[in-house]
Structure 1
Amino acid sequence: MAISYLIAGIAVWGFIGWLVDRWFDLGGVPIGIGAIVGAAGGVYLVVRRLGV
């Protein structure tokens, strides 16, 4: 379950970053930022869910 939070966070926010990149043509930077934000959000959800 924990790995699914991480993968989903990276995938969803990476996709949002891709959309922003396509819209504003920023050279791929939003994709990286989205992936990092998604990974951080996934870690937060895992910590919150498991109480580590």
Structure 2
Amino acid sequence: MTAVAYLLSGMLVWGGIGWLVDHWVGTRGIFAGLGAVLGMAGGVYLIVRRLGA
């Protein structure tokens, strides 16, 4: 359950930050998509680092 929480929270937080950047810059979903991908990568990193999976 912890692994799923890391993945979802990373996607939501960094995707949300990307969404805000999209609105600030005036683009449509580019930074939100990049943020979600980076959030997933960060979640995988935390899973490997903390849970040793």
Per the shorter chain, which TM-score range? over 0.9
How many pairs were matched up?
52
Question: Structure 2: which 5+ residue stretches go unaligned?
Answer: none
Percent sequence identity over aligned pairs: 58
Q: TM-score, normalised by structure 2?
A: 0.93
Cα distance in 1 between the residues matched to 2:39 and 2:27 = 19
Letter in structure 2 aligned against 1:18: W
Aligned pairs for 1:17-32 (under 5 A) are: 17-32=18-33
Q: What's the counterpart of residue 34 of structure 1? A: 35
Q: What's the counterpart of residue 15 of structure 1? A: 16
The root-mean-square deviation of aligned C-alpha atoms, in Å, is 0.7
Q: TM-score, normalised by structure 1?
A: 0.94
Structure 1 outlier segments of 4+, above 4 Å? none
